[in-house]
A = this chain, B = another copy of it.
Amino acid sequence: MTRALIVGGGLTAATLAWRLSQDGVESTVLERAEQTGGLVRSDHMGGVLYEPHGSHIFHTEDEEVWNLANQMTPFRDYRHRVDILIEGKILNWPILLSDIDAQSRSEEIKAELEARRDVDAEARAQAANFEEWCLELMGPTLYDRYIRPYTEKQWGRPARTLSASWAPRRVSVRWDNDPYLFPDPYQGWPAGPNGYTDLLDGLFGAPGVTVRTGVDVTLETLDRHVREEQADLVVLTCPLDEFCGNELGALEWRGIDVRSVHIPHIEYAQGAMVVNYPGEGYPFIRIHETKHASGQQIEGTVLGFEFTGAPSRHYPIELPENRALNDRYQDHLRGVIGAERVHFAGRLANYVYIDMDDCMREALTTAEQLLDGLARDGAPGAA
C-alpha cells in the first residue's frame, strides 16, 4: 500500500488526498494549525457562520471541479455583488455607467469615458503599467476615485509600479450596468451548516486519509514524519522558504489581517457581502459580511474588517526575482528529498495566487501525475 505525506492541510491538501484515495493511495495530512482548512475554512462566532480569513466565492467554468465540490457539500445559488464607497456613497464595483450620475463632476467623467471608448482592448494591453492601463480605460477622475487609492492600499506602492498584466481580470467599466462581479457559469456558496468547512471535511473524509493537526513540519523534521507515517511520497503545500529555514532567503508576500466582530443586535450591517473602502481615510480596505452568501437565518451578524500590510502570506509579489527564488527552493528540495519523491502543490509551495477552482484543478492534476508515476515506476523507496 502506497502512502503520501502531505504537508499543510488547506484545500489543496484536501483535494489531493481525496483524489489519491479514489485510486487507493492513502495519505497523512500534517497541518500546523489546530484546525485544517487554511484560508478557506469557515467558522462560527456567536452562532453566526463567517469566514475568518475573508470572503471566498466559488466561481468557475470547470464543470468537473464544480461537480466535485457539490458532491461534498451542496452550494447555494449565490451571485457575488460588491459595493464600494465613493465620495461617501455606496456604489457598485465594478464601475457601472448608471453610477456616474450619483457622483460629483459626472459630466467630466462621461466626457473622459467617451473619449476612450474607441481604445480597443489590444491597444490597452500595451500599457506600460497598471495605472496607464486603467487611465486608458476610464480616464483620470474615475481612476482617482475607484482604482488608485484601493490599489495603493492593497499593494502599499504606487499603482504605476505595478504590472498591467493583471488589470484586465480585475478592472472593468460596465457599459451594460451588469452589477455582478464574476461571469462564470457556476457560482455559489456552500449551503450546509458549516460553510466551506463542509467542503473540506468532505474531501478529508475520503477513505484512507489521516489528518493530524498542530504539527508544524520543516525540512529538519520531515524525515522523522516520513518514517513515523511510513510514507513513500511527500507533497508540500506549505511555504518553501520557511520550510527550509529561509536558507536561500525569504519570499516576499503582501498580507492582510481580517479581524471579525460579532454584533448580536444587527441582522445585516451592510448591503453586500463585500464592501470596498478605497479611500486613504479608511483604516481598512474591505468589510466582509458572510451572511449575504450563507443566507443563514439567525439573529446577529459578523463583520470582518480587512487590513492590508500584514506580515502574512496572501498575495505573492509577482517579480521575476521572486519567481526565480521559489524555483530555486523547489530545485533545492528535489535535490535533498529526491525528485521522484517530492511534489509541490497549492498557492504557497508554488508561490501563486489561485482561486479555489484552480487550486482544486491543480491538486487533481498533481495527484494524477503522482498516480501515473506510481503506475509506471511503483512507489519510490521509503526514506
Identify the A interface with B (CB < 8 A): 85-90, 104, 257, 259-266, 269-270, 279, 281-283, 287, 303, 305, 307, 309-311
Contacts and interface: CB of A to CB of B under 8 A. Distances in A.
Contact of A305 (B261, B282, B309, B311): B261
B281 A88 contact: yes
Contacts of A310: 264-265
A307 B259 contact: no
Contacts of A89: 88, 279, 281
Nearest to A261: B259
B85 A269 contact: no
A283 B264 contact: no
Contacts of A85: 88, 281-282
Nearest to A259: B261
Contacts of A265: 257, 307, 309-311
Nearest to A302: B259
6 nearest A-B residue pairs (beta carbon): A259-B261, A269-B283, A90-B281, A88-B88, A104-B104, A87-B88
Contacts of A269: 283, 307
Nearest to A269: B283
A265 B310 CA distance: 6
A270 B257 contact: no
Nearest to A304: B261
Nearest to A104: B104
A108 to B, nearest CB: 13
Contact of A283 (B281, B303, B309): B303
A86 B104 CA distance: 14
A282 B261 CA distance: 15
Contacts of A104: 87, 104
A266 B156 CA distance: 13
A262 B305 CA distance: 11
A85 B259 CA distance: 22
A87 B87 contact: yes
Contacts of A262: 259
A357 to B, nearest CB: 30
A283 B270 contact: yes
Nearest to A90: B281
Contact of A266 (B86, B90, B303, B307): B307
Given A266-B307, A266-B309, 9 more contacts: A89-B279, A90-B281, A104-B104, A259-B262, A260-B261, A261-B261, A265-B311, A269-B283, A305-B305
A90 B89 CA distance: 14
B279 A88 contact: yes
A283 B266 contact: yes
Contact of A307 (B88, B263, B282, B309): B263
A307 B262 CA distance: 11
23 contacts: A85-B282, A87-B87, A87-B88, A88-B88, A88-B279, A88-B281, A104-B104, A257-B265, A259-B262, A260-B261, A263-B307, A264-B310, A265-B309, A265-B311, A266-B283, A266-B307, A266-B309, A269-B283, A269-B307, A283-B287, A283-B303, A303-B305, A305-B305
A325 B374 CA distance: 81
